[in-house]
Amino acid sequence: MNIELRHLRYFIAVAEELHFGRAAERLNISQPPLSQQIQALETSIKAQLLARNNRNVSLTPAGNMFLKEAYQILGQVDAAATKAARMQQGELGEISIGFTSTTPFMRKVTLSLRQFRERYPDVAIHMHQMNTKQQIAPLQTGRIDIGVMRNTLLPDNLEHRLLFRERFMLAVYDGHPLLNYANEGISLEMLSGYPLVFFERDVGTALYDEIISLLANAGVTPMISQEAGEAMTILGLVAAGLGISIITESFTRMKIDGVQYLHLANAPACSEVWLVNHKNRQNSAAVDRLTNLLISNIVDESC
């Protein structure tokens, strides 16, 4: 069979008008070619669709059935075309995002995600929690489209854009001696000798390395008393008096009874948050829309 969409449209016009002249006028073609195309359609499918005489045109039983199917086929084609256009515009599709455990506490990132969901509800967003270094392989293979991560060494086929910098802060429990210096700020050197609660090395890889380097540059050897895999657990251990913790400013959105946050006096004491993607893989329009929204919502604040 060699049935084209125009054959279906011609047949529908005749079936609805039940008159070849009116159908031809509606289709903006002459009547003889229309009659020839309908005959070719019937020959191709080996069924008579229309009963004709000098005065009337009517649908045969086969024609009635074929009309219903033709409506469905053209409807599916129109729907597919609409979906393709919406995907081209970034209004439809899927986005896979890698994010670290601290990302949900980054107000500017969560604001962008909420705005995107409100503007483009038909784009499915799939979030994958991974530490910074765990995101690299999925970004290379295409399992995730973009990654929100801490600054780290990237392979040549990945590129990053700076989203923002955030200050390091100190989390202490109520009654801790360092609270006496809250107004003037705490220097890193003042942390020497105090037990610290840290991320587990294989969970918060980039933050772990950054904080260790920060302390080393200040001449402080960390005394790690506890390690934990989740931000809430770290702050819970601080509240329990098991140590203090160096965190980033996004953590301070979590209000935990018995925990207070202090500014560090050292400058620069901050961590970079990156948006990372593959250099050579073309992003979908939806990914580009979300990326542009993230960039536009975030103004880097020097720390």
CA 35 – CA 50 distance, rounded (Å): 11
Average pLDDT over residues 166-178: 93
Name the range with the highest mean pLDDT among 19-23, 182-186, 250-254, 262-266.
Answer: 19-23
CA 211 – CA 247 distance, rounded (Å): 9
Contacts of 181 (CB under 8 A, 6+ apart): 190, 262
Residue range 8-41, pLDDT digits in tens: 999 999 999 999 999 999 999 999 999 999 999 9
pLDDT at residue 303 in the model: 63
CA 121 – CA 112 distance, rounded (Å): 14
CA 208 – CA 225 distance, rounded (Å): 14
In this prediction, what percent of the chain has a pLDDT beyond 90? 68
Examine the pLDDT at 174 and tell me if it is beyond 60.
Answer: yes
In one letter, which amino acid is 80? Answer: A
What b/e sequence results for 19-31 when a residue is b if at least 16 CB atoms lie within 10 Å of its CB, and e otherwise? ebeebbeebeeee
HSE toward the beta carbon, residue 268, CA cutoff 13 A: 9
Residue range 86-134, pLDDT digits in tens: 998 888 999 999 998 888 888 889 999 999 999 999 999 999 999 888 9
Residues forming beta bridges with residue 186, ordered by sequence position: 264
CA 58 – CA 55 distance, rounded (Å): 10
